Chains A and B, each alone.
Chain A
Amino acid sequence: DAGVTQSPTHLIKTRGQQVTLRCSPKSGHDTVSWYQQALGQGPQFIFQYYEEEERQRGNFPDRFSGHQYPNYSSELNVNALLLGDSALYLCASSRDRYQETQYFGPGTRLLVL
């Protein structure tokens, strides 16, 4: 049983560009959350998708947007990249059930130059 997968593993972009990161949830999971982990920090919640809708959002600007597909996979899009967007982006999946655990993927490391 495959766990949470993310692509690409690494990415280098320049300021002002746009980026799309992808996530496939663990089998049987229907909820996807995205987190940003800056160097030396804990992960920060970006948003969560369930039933193809954004259910909850953290304190991130509108440059960060997402999408969830009918097969539960998800994308994170970041527009107008800033140097401060350089981070490890983590995807987590879970079942939308009581006390369910979020399982994390290996992350995509984004470097903005």
Chain B
Amino acid sequence: AQSVTQLGSHVSVSEGALVLLRCNYSSSVPPYLFWYVQYPNQGLQLLLKYTSAATLVKGINGFEAEFKKSETSFHLTKPSAHMSDAAEYFCAVSDRASGGINYKLTFGKGTLLTVNP
């Protein structure tokens, strides 16, 4: 069974500082990996996804993530935090059938990012 572990339920950074949110996964097949962001009282918005192309994936709002197979990691980074980045971030792995069609997403428990002025 696939699973996702997000290290750190709460990360606090200063505005302008580096953002690093950690995600490790377990999967018996090459995974599809995703980062979603959830603002208060809203649904999930896709930040970026890895689908076995380039290992460094660039997403929206200046975020990027690097797939490291040897470390089974997919950490999310942003060089300079902005106040508007304060939200909850979820890492997810896709449970792919043999045909490669997306089926369910398995999510981590989330990391709440706060940005201090």
Contact = CB atoms under 8 A, between A and B. Distances in A.
Task: Tell me if chain B binds chain A.
Answer: yes
Contacts of B92: 42
Contact of A100 (B4, B43, B102, B104): B102
A42 B108 contact: yes
A80 to B, nearest CB: 24
Nearest to B103: A56
Interface stretch (B45-53, B63-71, B76-84): B45-53
Contacts of A33: 104-105
Nearest to B109: A42
Interface stretch (A14-22, A64-72, A91-99): A91-99
A64 to B, nearest CB: 14
Contact of B44 (A41, A43, A97, A99): A43
Contacts of A35: 105
B109 A56 contact: no
A55 B36 CA distance: 24
Contacts of A4: 43
B32, B42, B95, B105: residue with the most chain A Cβ atoms closer than 10 Å: B105
Contacts of B46: 101, 103
Contacts of B110: 40-42
A44 B45 CA distance: 16
A50 to B, nearest CB: 9
Nearest to A101: B46
B105 A102 contact: yes
B84 to A, nearest CB: 19
A58 to B, nearest CB: 6
Interface of B: 4, 32, 34, 36, 42-46, 49, 51, 90, 92, 95, 100-110
Interface of A: 4, 31, 33, 35, 40-45, 48, 55-56, 58, 90, 92, 94, 96-107
Given A42-B109, A99-B51, A107-B43, 8 more contacts: A4-B43, A33-B104, A42-B90, A42-B108, A43-B44, A45-B104, A100-B101, A101-B46
